[in-house]
Amino acid sequence: MSLSSVIYLCSFIMLVVVAGIMLGLPRDTVPLTAKIYLCTQVFWVISVWLANQQWSYFGKLYAEVYTYSVLPMLCALVVLTLQFCSSEKMLPAGLWAIFGVAAIFLITRKVFLMPNMTPRDNLAIWIGGLTTAVFISCGIALFLSIGEYQGPILENIKITLVLFWLIEGLLQFYILTLKTRGDDERAIRVHTVLPGLVAIFLFFYLAWSLSQVRVPELGRADSPESTPRALEN
């Protein structure tokens, strides 16, 4: 098994562990949108890994599987960000998430889209620009929402996602740069190693931090009187 396959599998296992911990928390502790986002990311990771077992990174079929699996994750990511920024105080951050995605996407397409590109390269630039835009814009918006304290559980989730989204967005931008310069080999190495390693370390931290939550106290979170106390302790 190649190094990239091992990294993909480890990141998949780490995501499943985090998902299991989240699902084991009391019903109203973690937003449903966060659980949906995590499930779509698990689907994305396993789809990309399975596609690579069948087809080359340079093939059209791999690019299509990557595209169709990443789009639900990006949609869930935007919805989760808008929920965290839905209060009146966080309205500017929510507006940035929407307009920032559009602005960064248009900029990356203008910078990286070159004439006479093959359909596969065109698709790679399109989806790479969209992924870059969503990760960076939503990462910034979610960082701004940290100022609105919502308890230690949500704060740990926010911090992890902010770091993950911003790093992933910068890596996607770097991959686009390499592809535009014609350095496909290095772009593939970055694509198959660094994002997975980032996911492993950050979601390990999230799994560890969520596992430290005192479950007996959270068990009383279903009652309206105990919910604020459970989130503040």
Top mean pLDDT of 46-60, 109-123, 168-182, 208-222 is at 168-182
CATH of the domain at 203: 1.20.1070
Give the residue-averaged pLDDT of 34-51: 90
d(CA 168, CA 173): 9
Give, in order, the Cα–Cα distances in Å from 112 to each of 44, 89, 123, 128. Answer: 24, 36, 12, 10
Q: Are 112 and 176 in contact (CB under 8 A)?
A: yes
| Long-range CB contact pairs, 20-28, < 8 A, 24+ | 21/207, 21/210, 21/211, 22/210, 25/153, 25/210, 25/213, 25/218, 26/218, 26/219, 26/221, 26/222, 26/230, 27/221, 27/222, 28/221, 28/222, 28/227
Band the pLDDT of 229: cuts 50, 70, 90. Answer: very low
d(CA 131, CA 105): 8
* Other beta carbons less than 10 A from residue 135's beta carbon: 24
Give, in order, the Cα–Cα distances in Å from 20 to each of 16, 24, 49, 135. Answer: 6, 6, 21, 24
pLDDT digits (tens, 9 = 90+) for 157-200: 999 999 999 999 999 999 888 888 877 788 888 888 888 899 99
What pLDDT is attached to residue 223?
Answer: 42
pLDDT digits (tens, 9 = 90+) for 51-107: 877 876 666 788 888 889 999 999 999 999 998 888 767 777 777 777 888 888 878
Instruction: Give the total number of structural domains in the chain.
Output: 1
What pLDDT is attached to residue 170?
Answer: 93
Whether the predicted pLDDT of 217 surpasses 60: no
What pLDDT is attached to residue 89?
Answer: 74
Q: What is the domain range of residue 154?
A: 3-232
